[in-house]
């Protein structure tokens, strides 16, 4: 990677994917202003990695997430301005069949962001249902890098076996894979404990990004089996998982109380202690500040082991992303 293509990866990110539903159906300038405040709060406090995707904000508000993120980046003029890293994921839609289509998708995302992409990622692998398409799109991802249109290349929802194959392909072109993004939390350890992605990432020099590190809010302690459940699909998820997670949540709460932290902060710090960059969502400045409170300290080894044990005993963890490859 040349000197003018260095990509700065901070210890923790803020995933714009969490804004999805509001961006899809509820466009409101007051929400935009609130999200701008979230962005400003994060950057001011050294959280400068922002992850989104070209599929976030579809339908009538196509690409809205990237548009807003680019706007926030341009308007922010405070500290850490030059450390801001804008990451996006390009979806392998069925109509994207050639490497040229991937290059065009990257250029479209850059146009919405208002500048070149710092980190471009393949949103998921098509190996399970259309492997020929995947290699074409990965070639296009590499082309974006070689053309100087992106600073770094990453993957999302890839398992260890597939990661090794893609790494070999990119290595032949002299293109480093900077990051791998997987669903990882105390309620979703599968990619690490069963697929072994962390071990392979460490071997290949790839940074692991943990998305959904708070398991849709289940690890924050705000939901209860007896009430206070979210609406829609999250309500069903909570009813399925909460009864099986009592011991884990009790352990999480006990450690949080002992350290004078929130359960969310302990859950995020656990991800950091595991050598990952968690990217929690934040819909308002209060949530952003709570997430930031996970930085600047570490769980001790005994606490990490205690949480590991409690997590391993959960019989019904989070459902894995259907696009997660092996």
Q: Kindly list the catalytic residues.
A: 56
Within a 13 Å sphere around the CA of 80, how many CA atoms are in the beta-carbon half?
16
Give the C-alpha separation, 175 to 9, whole Å: 17
- 326 within 8 A of 195, measured Cβ to Cβ: yes
φ, ψ of residue 48 to 5 degrees: the values are: -125, 5
Three-state SS at 115: coil
Name beta bridge partners: 188.
Answer: 185
Q: 180-214 b/e with 16+ CB inside 10 Å = b?
A: bbbbbbbbbbbbbeebbbbebbeeeebbbbbbbbb
Give the C-alpha separation, 69 to 302, whole Å: 39
């Amino acid at each position: 990677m040349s000197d003018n293509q260095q990509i700065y990866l901070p210890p923790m990110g803020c995933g714009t994917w969490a804004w999805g539903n509001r961006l899809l159906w509820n466009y409101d300038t007051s929400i935009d202003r609130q999200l701008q405040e979230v962005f400003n709060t994060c950057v001011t406090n050294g959280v400068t990695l922002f992850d989104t995707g070209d599929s976030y904000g579809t339908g009538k508000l196509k690409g809205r997430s990237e548009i807003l993120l680019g706007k926030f980046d341009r308007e922010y003029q405070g500290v850490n301005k030059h450390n801001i890293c804008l990451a996006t994921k390009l979806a392998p839609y069925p109509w994207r069949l050639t490497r040229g289509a991937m290059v065009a998708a990257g250029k479209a995302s850059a146009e919405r962001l208002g500048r070149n992409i710092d980190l471009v990622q393949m949103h998921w692998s098509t190996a399970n249902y259309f492997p020929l398409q995947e290699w074409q799109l990965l070639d296009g991802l590499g082309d974006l890098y070689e053309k100087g249109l992106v600073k770094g290349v990453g993957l999302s929802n890839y398992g260890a076996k597939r990661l090794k194959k893609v790494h070999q392909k990119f290595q032949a072109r002299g293109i480093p894979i900077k990051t791998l993004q997987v669903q990882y939390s105390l309620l979703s350890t599968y990619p690490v404990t069963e697929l072994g992605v962390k071990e392979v990432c460490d071997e290949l020099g790839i940074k692991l990004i943990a998305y959904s590190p708070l398991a849709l809010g289940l690890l924050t302690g705000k939901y209860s089996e007896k009430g206070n459940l979210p609406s829609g699909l999250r309500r069903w998820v909570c009813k399925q998982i909460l009864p099986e997670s009592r011991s884990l949540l009790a352990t999480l709460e006990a450690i949080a109380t002992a350290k004078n932290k929130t359960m969310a902060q302990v859950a995020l710090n656990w991800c950091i202690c595991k050598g990952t960059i968690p990217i929690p969502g934040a819909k308002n400045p209060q949530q952003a500040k709570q997430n930031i409170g996970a930085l600047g300290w570490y769980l001790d080894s005994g606490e990490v082991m205690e949480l590991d044990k409690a997590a391993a005993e959960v019989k019904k963890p989070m459902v894995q992303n259907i696009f997660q490859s092996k």
